[in-house]
Amino acid sequence: MSPPDAKPNETGYIHHLHADQFDDLVPQALANVELRGALAKATNTIRNRRAIALEEIDDLQELRSRAKSIKTEALAHLDDHLETFERQATANGIHVHWAADAESASAIVLDIAIKNKTRLAVKAKSMVSEEIGLNDALIDAGIVPVETDLGEWIVQLAEEPPSHILAPAIHKRRREIRDLLARVLGRPMPDDAAGLTEVARHELRARFAQAELGISGANFLVAETGSFLLIENEGNIRLTTSLPRVHVAVAGIEKIVPRLKDLGPLVRIITRSATGQAISCYQTLVTKPKTSPEDDGPEEIHLVLLDNGRSKLLEDDLTAETLRCIRCSACLNVCPVYRQIGGHAYGSVYPGPIGAIFTPQIAGMHAASQLPGASSLCGACREVCPVDIDIPGVLLHLRHRAAEGDQSTGNHPEADPRTTEKTQSMRRGFRFWRWAMGSSRRFQVFGAVGRLLATVIRQVPSLTKYAGPLAGWTDGRTVPRSPGRSFRSGKMARRLRPEGQGRA
Amino acid sequence: MRIALFVTCLMDQFRPEAAEATVSVLEHCGCEVVFDPRQTCCGQPAFNAGLHQEAIPVCRGAVRVLDDQITRGGCDAIVTPSGSCAAMFRHAIGLLDGEDAAAAKRVAEATHELSEFLVRRLQRIDVGASWPGRVAWHDACHGLRELGIKSEPRRLLEAVDGLDLVESSTCDRCCGFGGTFSVNLPGVSTGMADDKIDELETLGIDAIVSGDASCLMQLEGRLEARGSRIRGVHLAEILAAREPLTRANS
Ligand code: SF4
């Protein structure tokens, strides 16, 4: 498995990325009525829970700014904190590995797996493992990875990528899950959620005891103590990280926080933002392997620190904001675009607003140039983001890079001819617009032409196919009724003309 | 108070009544309004598409005209019946260079969206309007999230004679316009409008009111295509209305 076109230290690699097919994936998603129903229902529920959970906090703004400043401080001295982390973790007996890119991260995990004669690996849900394509790498080496998070297990059985960074199977309805399990397990399944969960628990329990290796991500790495925190509700992470003899965690370098006490505010805000819980059912703080036979827990713990294009984002204050993300998924749940199309349409394991900014910055603009356009810039994401990432600001920045090119960030528009054609046609349209808006007289003339065209199109809507980039408008909408005159040509506007201003 | 009016390009060409209503409301509140016809567009459509080369000259044009009005034309403030254009002038500070950036800063600081200007600056709630009918308010994204406008339009609407304001639970969800987004991803854009309209249809309202002509164009375009009886009205149109309260009185 080698990342195509990846230049080390320039752009990273995201497994199964097909964000360049965004234009085809969106209509498919829109046509899926079931999907839209499932998404509307699920995102409504989570966003309401989040809102209620945050209402309870009387120092919410203070908590958010605390969370933001912890992450900002951590990123400002990332190298130092990572070094401290490595020193402390090593002293605790954790093996720390550095992976510059996805390929080397997978290789490190694979190497550990092989050394420990792994046939079966249990996995806790981890977006980073999706990013680096770890499951495929394990399967290629003859090792069976079993996802133990309920949603992640369901998408694994369905042979699909997750469609949400926290609720991987959010796009699936209960009926679909029942049929899937019945097919895979070869027996009839109960109808209710509790019954299905029971089946999953039973199926997965046995695996924890058999597995030679447990694989997880990490929510936060604590530099001060060399430990890392995992947050969950199902208990599967606790089992993954304690039953197998060996535990490997893979984490992006941006997960670092300086001090143990930083976890307080971050945990308080992440669970509320993510699921609307005051606290999750389990928090597992991993500090060292077991030191005596009477102890529980793994004998060997490894932590892989993954860069994969992340450190490049630190070069600019705005793009660095992206790395503050604590993957709470609140931005996905409030995003009106995500709500319409779901996660798979983004063609990236990181979908939604955070995916639209993270994916092109990691994998290169050429691989995901459409994603920054997948937003109306409504700002709902920024409003809920617990670490105050200016997502619309980063989207605007990336649109600028996509439109005007930026070789230093791996933006090679020619790699995607369709995008180029679209960008070119938009640019032609805006060149004309710039000229038309360049003088008051031209604005008047083209305004009048626009009103006339609108009148004609109202009569014969099929004519919009000649309207160039504007053709999409009549896809489900009428054009406005034209008023016959502009404001500036009216009597009132003339009365309001400042002294010294002649005719327009 | 002398006000420089910035009429958004879309409103100028497609909704002149709303621009005229804005002037009437401001004059009713004792302001002197000037409209410099050298203005065209704030540059936002190109800026949001990432096309800075195209956005800059247009944005610069608007900034220079408005700056001229506040520095030399004796205007105390700039008012625009659009939260979106008001927010664009803030982006202009980073988009333009040198003296133009300084001018953009002056313009951004002097610019107020209409409802914000009436309530915060003039402290006017009742502007003498009467408009019989039941309406819901749509919070336009830029007004709400970039300028923090939430209570102002509601207070103004509540003070209108004969008007019955109902809250929509999707009031702060995007209408789906988003400039080029609306034509690049039309299915997503109209789906977003439907998300709101589905709820609006249950409220028994006559009109959806907004402070941005672009949101109205989106919502009206979709409402009409769906055959709805709900229409779109700009806030200024209601505030300037002096309609007899036949229905409310009967
Ligand atoms: S960008 Fe913000 S809201 Fe979205 S997942 Fe990251 S932390 Fe959460």
- 3-state SS, one letter per residue, for A267-286: HHHHHHHHHCCCCCCEEEEE
What is the spatial distance between Cα B95 and Cα B84, in angstroms, rounded to a whole number?
16
Do B99 and B140 lie in one domain? The reply is no
CB pairs under 8 A between A and B: 215
A372 closest CA partner among A382, A361, A385: A361
Ligand 1 atom closest to the CA of A353, numbered from 1: 4
pLDDT at A472: 87
A258 closest CA partner among A431, A433, A83: A83
Instruction: Please name the residue whose Cα sits nearest to atom 4 of ligand 1.
Output: A331
Do B25 and B107 lie in one domain? The reply is yes
| Domain membership flag for residue B62 | yes
Ligand 1 near A355 CB (within 6 A) = no
Q: A472 lies in which domain range?
A: 438-504
Q: B102 lies in which domain range?
A: 2-120
List the end-to-end C-alpha distance of chain B, in Å, as a whole number: 40
Residues of chain B contacting A27 with CB distance shorter than 8 Å = 187
- Compute the distance from residue A336 Cα to the ligand 1 centre, in Å: 15
Do B90 and B138 lie in one domain? The reply is no
- Look up the CATH number of the domain holding residue B218: 3.40.50
| Domain membership flag for residue A500 | yes
Last residue of a domain, one of B52, B87, B120: B120
Partner-chain contact B180 A431, CB within 8 Å: no
- From the centroid of its chain, how far is CA B184? 23
| Domain membership flag for residue B246 | no
What digits encode the pLDDT tens for the residues A423-451?
Answer: 788 889 999 999 999 999 999 999 999 99
Ligand 1 near A343 CB (within 6 A) = no
In the predicted structure, residue A502 carries a pLDDT above the cut 60: no
Do B194 and B138 lie in one domain? The reply is yes
pLDDT at A2: 37
| Domain membership flag for residue B19 | yes
pLDDT at A409: 47
Residues of chain A contacting B224 with CB distance shorter than 8 Å = 477-478
Do B38 and B12 lie in one domain? The reply is yes
Do B19 and B85 lie in one domain? The reply is yes
Percent of chain B at pLDDT exceeding 90: 98
Torsion of CA A418, A419, A423, A426, to 10 degrees: 60
In the predicted structure, residue A310 carries a pLDDT above the cut 60: yes
What digits encode the pLDDT tens for the residues B182-237?
Answer: 999 999 999 999 999 999 999 999 999 999 999 999 999 999 999 999 999 999 99
Ligand 1 near A330 CB (within 6 A) = yes
Q: Find the DSSP H helices in A187-242.
A: 193-210, 236-240
Partner-chain contact B141 A422, CB within 8 Å: no
Q: Determine the average pLDDT of the residues in A212-239.
A: 97
Q: Determine the average pLDDT of the residues in B164-179.
A: 97
Among the listed ranges A16-20, A323-327, A392-396, which one has the minimum average pLDDT value? A16-20
Residues of chain A contacting B178 with CB distance shorter than 8 Å = 375-378
Do B92 and B142 lie in one domain? The reply is no
Residue with the two structure tokens 């036979």: A293
Partners of B136 in the β-ladder: B166, B208
Measured CA distances, B205 to A90, B175, B212 (Å): 66, 17, 19
Work out the burial of residue B250: count CB atoms within 10 Å of its CB; fewer than 13 is exposed, 13-18 middle, 19 or more buried.
Answer: exposed
| Domain membership flag for residue B169 | yes
Backbone angle region of B151, left / alpha / beta, with phi > 0 → left and psi within -120 to 50 → alpha: alpha
In the predicted model, what is the mean pLDDT of chain A? 92
Task: Tell which wins on pLDDT, A195 or A410.
Answer: A195
Do B15 and B105 lie in one domain? The reply is yes
What is the spatial distance between Cα A64 and Cα A248, in angstroms, rounded to a whole number?
31
Backbone angle region of A235, left / alpha / beta, with phi > 0 → left and psi within -120 to 50 → alpha: left
Partner residue opposite A451 with nearest CB, options B13, B46, B53:
B13
| Domain membership flag for residue A499 | yes
| Domain membership flag for residue A372 | no
Please, which pLDDT band fits residue A419 given cuts at 50, 70 and 90? low
Ligand 1 near A354 CB (within 6 A) = yes
Ligand 1 near A67 CB (within 6 A) = no
pLDDT at A99: 98
Ligand 1 atom closest to the CA of A326, numbered from 1: 7
| Domain membership flag for residue B35 | yes
What is the spatial distance between Cα B95 and Cα B105, in angstroms, rounded to a whole number?
11
Do B179 and B200 lie in one domain? The reply is yes
In the predicted structure, residue A343 carries a pLDDT above the cut 90: yes
Last residue of a domain, one of B120, B154, B187: B120
Q: Determine the average pLDDT of the residues in A225-231.
A: 98
- Compute the distance from residue A352 Cα to the ligand 1 centre, in Å: 10
Q: Residue B94 corresponds to which tokens in the numbers above?
A: 């980073």
Partner-chain contact A404 B73, CB within 8 Å: no
Number of H helices, E strands in chain A: 22, 10
User: Mind telling me how many Å the CA of A447 is from chain B's nearest CA?
Assistant: 6
Task: Tell which wins on pLDDT, A398 or A462.
Answer: A398
Partner-chain contact A379 B141, CB within 8 Å: yes
Counting the structural domains of chain B, the total is 2
Buried b / exposed e across B225-234, counting CB within 10 Å, b at 16+? bbeeebbbbb
Q: Which range has highest mean pLDDT (A6-15, A34-43, A335-344)? A: A335-344
Do B8 and B63 lie in one domain? The reply is yes
Residues of chain A contacting B233 with CB distance shorter than 8 Å = none
Partner-chain contact B145 A450, CB within 8 Å: no
In the predicted structure, residue A301 carries a pLDDT above the cut 50: yes
In the predicted structure, residue A407 carries a pLDDT above the cut 80: no
| Domain membership flag for residue A185 | no
| Domain membership flag for residue B187 | yes
Ligand 1 near A389 CB (within 6 A) = yes
In the predicted structure, residue A503 carries a pLDDT above the cut 60: no
pLDDT at A501: 58
Ligand 1 near A325 CB (within 6 A) = yes
Q: C-alpha angle with apex A145: A143 to A146, nearest 5 degrees?
A: 145
pLDDT at A402: 87
Partner residue opposite A472 with nearest CB, options B57, B73, B184:
B184
Among the listed ranges A38-42, A364-368, B25-29, B177-181, which one has the minimum average pLDDT value? A364-368
Do B168 and B116 lie in one domain? The reply is no
What digits encode the pLDDT tens for the residues A128-141?
Answer: 999 999 999 999 99
Does the CB of A102 have a partner CB in chain B at under 8 Å?
no
Ligand 1 near A166 CB (within 6 A) = no
Do B157 and B178 lie in one domain? The reply is yes
pLDDT at A194: 92
Counting the structural domains of chain A, the total is 1
